[in-house]
Structure 1
Amino acid sequence: MRKIGIAEIEDIALGAALLGAGGGGDPYVGKLVAIGAVKECGPVTLLDPEEVPDDALVVPIAMMGAPTVLSEKAIGGAEYQTLYDTVSTFYGKPIYAFMPIEAGGVNSMLPIAAAARLGLPLVDCDGMGRAFPELQMVTFTIGGGSATPMALVDEKGNSCIFRTITNKWTEELARAVTMACGGSVSVSLFSMDGAFMKQYAVKGIVTRSQILGSAIRRVKEASQRTPEEEFLHITEGFRLFKGKICDVLREVRAGFNFGKVLLDGIGDYKGKSAYVEFQNENLTAAVEEEILATTPDLICLVDTETFQPVPTDALKYGKRVMVAGLPCYPLWRTPEGLKLVGPRYFGIDTDYIPLEERCKGGNA
């Protein structure tokens, strides 16, 4: 158990933006929401999963929709109370704690804001260890957990609760309502007891985000390695490519940011080309048409000078980036995990090959 204040939020937002693999929303927007809540209501208590009673009700809170919409359609504060009231009334018991559903610039921050405003603790775990675009893509689905009852509320006060036959149906129906509400909403889903959370959650994600964020801020202070070597060391990542963005193709469709970023090589990669395709999160990276990484491994674009992560909605012509690959949470590499989030689910015509095997002989 420890407290999360403004300094911790700064580092968590930065580290979670990296783990968001390009998705999860603008870390700046999410950070402002969380900092505003903590300034008004005080710091948030962060619990280790083992500190949560087995029969306690734990509820993930998240934003659903296209992250780019948030720059024009802000998050209020009343949504959290509506979500709390809806879920606690359904279960007939109070919510013990909130938790993030994924890592990402916004969805790592909203649960902090909700916990601060409602005076609840936050649990140091999530359901992905990264970010994925569809709501059924969580470790809880692998464990047989249900996304519903799922509460949904928009900034205007419209709200509803879903009961569906499968988690995929929850995604389909909630996505349609999200689009009707302007492209982004606040949700609570996969409500669970402490025992189930301890068995299937990705533990320590908030702490890992904070450690990564702090290390990225201090990456140029390393004495034994170059900043790039230090970044790859602290993230346990692989360098896939370095280049200048020469084109970005993107569109918002069905509540997702779809797109492709094209890169011209710089430095050791001069004369080569690469691309990264995304659906909210980066899904595949290829150099000279050879795929070097696919989902569920993390594909992250970072600034070549600061090593700050660049989310998909911040990609722009001329920016110089390094494409880095990070190994995913082991459960995603199982047959059950790959069925949910493997490359073929997203229409990518390749089998999943672990990042380490694709990058043999590369930079670790």
Structure 2
Amino acid sequence: MEEQSIRVELSQSKKEKPKAVELVFGRIFTDHMFVMDYTEGIGWHNASIVPYQPITLDPAAMIFHYGQSVFEGLKAFRTKSGSVQLFRPEKNMERMNRSNERLVIPPIDEAFLVKAIKKLVEIDQEWVPDAEGTSLYIRPFIISTEPFLGVAPAHQYKFIVIMSPVGSYYKEGINPVKIAVENKYVRAVKGGTGEAKTGGNYAASLKAQEIVEKEGYSQVLWLDGVERKYIEEVGSMNVFFKVNGEIITPALNGSILPGITRDSVIHLLKHWGLPVTERRISMEEMYDAYEKGELEEAFGSGTAAVISPIGELYWEGKHIVINECKTGELSKKVYDTITGIQYGKIEDPFNWTVKVCETSKVK
């Protein structure tokens, strides 16, 4: 589509901003949001930044009945100098279009939406916190809004971006978590929607998550949906294993979400000259490596936590304790490097950061 202008309507009543110690994930929202509509025959139109507000939908809106939706997640960071920057936003928009294709949602103009997100963050820049480990979480999403009960792709959609200031994912430092390997439930299969970022994938994961939490585990390690033996994802994150000096991560196979943090980790490891391999990994292989003393580290990667070290895996009655349940050197180095780039503490040799605005006063 031809790039359109963005109409701006500023809020006349600003919300009180929370203190850094009060920040939790996804509970508090900024003063403004971005909205844009799609109508077949017109395309994406009516791009606007407006005061944060409820939306009104017809009870027959197709999102409620057939779940045609996609979403993304990225963050804005405040640097030491006070400027605000994003981390690889163009990759989020690229992935959103891949999700759109799978869900039969009209494609978006990626460059225009990066511009819109930058504008929204600039307007609400005072909401970007400056305490250690805090950031502004950005949630773009698309829903089908056409009122129709037929099973078919919708002809009307709404694209929305909302934002929420969030605290440090780790309250007391980067600590390993305990993970249970899931054998009963399946997250996704090749040919399904596993590689798309759509709400149904996450709804399907809740039952297994509920069960393992009651047993004292933080997350579920998902196996493939066909043979139930090959490792895919951990919770809502991609996963890496360091085995005898080699870093291994499951290859993207059509059912694994292509994480942007995952891609960043792989880039870093190769930049450091470390051996990194994307391939199929069985849980039995990881257990054999553990038995031989070769399973040195394991960690998940994702937007929220960046890096989440895995201290223990529970599989078929076996407790696999990794690195004495301590954060490994590699996990810590990757975490420190990516967050260092995000917050502008260290050099960004990959041009991953995108400047939104220069110094501003945080109120």
TM-score (norm 2): 0.25
Structure with more helix by fraction: 1
Structure exhibiting the larger radius of gyration computed from Cα positions: 2
